[in-house]
Amino acid sequence: MLKNCLTIDHILVKQDAVDWRQAIQLAGEMLVKSGDVEAPYISAMQDSVLENGPYMVVDQGIALAHARPGEYVNRVCFSLVTLRKGVEFGVPEFDPVDMVFALGALDNESHIETLRGLADILLDEEKVKMIREAQQPEDVLALL
């Protein structure tokens, strides 16, 4: 499923963000532009961090931004932003975050299925390293 959701227009590499809010904004804007989510979904992802803490940081330098399934989501979608310089999310053992995935899911089932696809990639340390080093969105797609 991830391969179908993460398209060339949903990948930005080597971007600049001043903080975690802007990093989530960058990841979310691609999903809004494609019509996969509505604009309020970006704020919902940011609010989720404020309300629940930085649980979205799932590994060293990697965050998975998302909000409640269904709300403001038009179809299952994924985006990825890599950052030139990582930002702090507030998880000392995993900060700074330099790779932000954004997920939009319609329901819990699609949420879990998409996360499984992402987990397969994140468990491969070599792929993670290559995504971080990618200079073009096409470089990331080739890894999938």
What is the mean pLDDT of the segment spanning 135-139?
95
Task: Tell me the domains of the chain and their CATH numbers.
Answer: 2-143 (3.40.930.10)
Are 128 and 62 in contact by the 8 Å Cβ rule? The answer is: yes
CA angle 16, 62, 53 (to 5 degrees): 95
pLDDT tens-digit series, residues 48-74: 999 999 999 999 999 999 998 888 999
Q: How confident is the model at residue 3 (pLDDT cuts 50, 70, 90)?
A: low
Confidence of residue 110 (pLDDT cuts 50, 70, 90): low
Q: Which of 12-26, 58-72, 107-121 has the highest mean pLDDT?
A: 12-26
